[in-house]
Amino acid sequence: MTAAIQPDLELAASLFDGLSRATRRGRGIVRDSYGEGEQAAHDLVRSAATAIGLEVEVDAIGNLFMTLPGRERRAPRILIGSHLDSVPQGGNYDGAAGVVAGLSVLAALRRAQIAPAWDTSVMAIRAEESAWFDVPYLGSAGALGLLDPACLATPRSDNGRTLETTLQQQGFDPQPIRERRRLLEPSTIRAYLELHIEQGPTLVAEGLPAAVVSGIRGCKRFRNARCVGEYAHSGAVGRRHRHDAVAATVAFLHHMETVWLRQEEAGADLVLTAGELSTDPALHGPSKIAGETHFVLDLRSLSDATMEAVATEARAAAARIGAVYRVNIDLGATSDSPPAVMDSGLRARLMSLLERPFEMASGAGHDAAVFAKLGIPSGMIFVRNENGSHNADEAMALEDFAVGARALLALLMDFPL
Ligand SMILES: [Zn+2]
């Protein structure tokens, strides 16, 4: 009998429409963190939750909780979370799909008069996108007492107002952040679940509607790598006498590409990117050998050990190739964020709920990483999305969303923990 219960897709469609109407500015979506657009999205989902009959609560920093009460109210609850903000000129689904999925599932349970054993809350999380305040996971990390109070001085990228001022202007309270006070106690959270659109091309290429996320890749980034050689005349200096920073940098990056290939062949999870590479426009020229480059080497993996091994090889290669080219390749320090692996039990259960099971790593960060790193069992579902994300052309089919939402509902109805 319970197998007949389906997520409320009509509600989902009307929420996606409403969100698009309320927050589209020109071609794209603007749901600015702690601004008008994000607030409009919060107002919309809040009134939908009230109409469904969920309990509604807002914490001191503006995260919205919409709760279907369980039979045992004091038992740790399940959170279904995602963010409602977007990047400037973003798409309608990044973030919002997870909140809409949660509501479509709780609406179905409510209508079927099923009270779960414990509370289940949809958490509409504030300010996940660091485009507005350059602080990762503001809403979730703030709720869990993990933010450095210094972040309150961070200016918003468009209007320069600090986070502290912005919170106060929106009627919220910066004090818990100042005191690193938890608004959410990890021991009261049974599990954290998040549905999100996939932000890369994998599911489109695989022809699959949805996937289970194995984890969120960590990052080890050489942010300030430099190669220093000597500027010289391009015609006058032969190969053996050069200290060519560009030639050495290219050789180094090419070597790292082969390291990546070897890791991939060995089955390791790794992506490797040199997203910045430049010579100094004040000093370079068409008839000069370049004496200096600046570049970034960004390593990401689900495995700390893989990132560590590749970083070690990068340092060794920098010394070796630097010697060959008579330059100094100085990779500098790394900035590190550890990987967040999703709970193995939840992954297995979610895989069993997909008609065509497929598991993949997330290259982009999500609030789920914040919960997982605190040891809260966390699970994520990706839904196929055309044209990438963080742009106005995000396109998610409601049928694909339904596949993800159905898995979420089935998981809740027979929760493994
Ligand atoms: Zn997102």
| pLDDT tens digits along 194-232 | 999 999 999 999 999 999 999 999 999 999 999 999 999
Q: What's the 331 CA to ligand 1 centre distance in angstroms?
A: 31
Q: What's the 380 CA to ligand 1 centre distance in angstroms?
A: 12
Q: What's the 121 CA to ligand 1 centre distance in angstroms?
A: 19
The DSSP H or E segment spanning 99 is helix 96-111
Q: What percent of the chain has pLDDT over 90?
A: 95
Report the alpha-carbon distance of residue 369 to residue 215 in Å, rounded: 8
Q: What is the pLDDT of residues 335-359, one digit of tens each?
A: 998 999 999 999 999 999 999 999 9
Report the alpha-carbon distance of residue 136 to residue 154 in Å, rounded: 12
Number of helices (H) and strands (E), helices first, in the chain?
12, 19
SS3 326: coil
Which residues in 296-328 are b (16+ Cβ under 10 Å) and which e? ebbbbbbbeebbebbbeebeebbeebbeebebb
Cβ-in-10-Å burial (0-12, 13-18, 19+) of 271 comes to middle
The pLDDT value recorded for residue 1 is: 44
164 pLDDT exceeds 80?
yes
The pLDDT value recorded for residue 352 is: 97
What is the Cα 212 distance to its own chain's centre?
A: 15
Region 224-246: mean pLDDT is 97
Q: What's the 352 CA to ligand 1 centre distance in angstroms?
A: 25
Q: What's the 363 CA to ligand 1 centre distance in angstroms?
A: 12
Q: What's the 138 CA to ligand 1 centre distance in angstroms?
A: 13
SS3 219: strand
Q: What percent of the chain has pLDDT over 70?
A: 99
387 pLDDT exceeds 80?
yes
What is the Cα 231 distance to its own chain's centre?
A: 41
Region 272-301: mean pLDDT is 97
Confidence of residue 416 (pLDDT cuts 50, 70, 90): confident
Q: What's the 119 CA to ligand 1 centre distance in angstroms?
A: 25
Confidence of residue 17 (pLDDT cuts 50, 70, 90): very high
The pLDDT value recorded for residue 148 is: 96
Q: What is the pLDDT of residues 46-99, one digit of tens each?
A: 999 999 999 999 999 999 999 999 999 999 999 999 999 999 999 999 999 999
Q: What is the pLDDT of residues 93-136, one digit of tens each?
A: 999 999 999 999 999 999 999 989 999 999 999 999 989 998 98
- Beta-carbon contacts of 326 under 8 Å, excluding residues fewer than 6 positions away, are 229, 242, 243
Report the alpha-carbon distance of residue 101 to residue 88 in Å, rounded: 23
Confidence of residue 3 (pLDDT cuts 50, 70, 90): low
SS3 164: helix
Supply angle C-alpha 179, 183, 189, rounded to 5. 140
pTM: 0.89
Q: What's the 168 CA to ligand 1 centre distance in angstroms?
A: 25
Report the alpha-carbon distance of residue 255 to residue 261 in Å, rounded: 10
Q: What's the 323 CA to ligand 1 centre distance in angstroms?
A: 43
The pLDDT value recorded for residue 360 is: 97
Give whole-number Cα distances, 278 to 228, 249, 267, 290, 363, in Å. Answer: 12, 10, 32, 10, 25
State the chain's mean pLDDT as an integer: 96
27 pLDDT exceeds 80?
yes
**Residue 51 has which token pair?**
């109409």
Q: What's the 83 CA to ligand 1 centre distance in angstroms?
A: 7
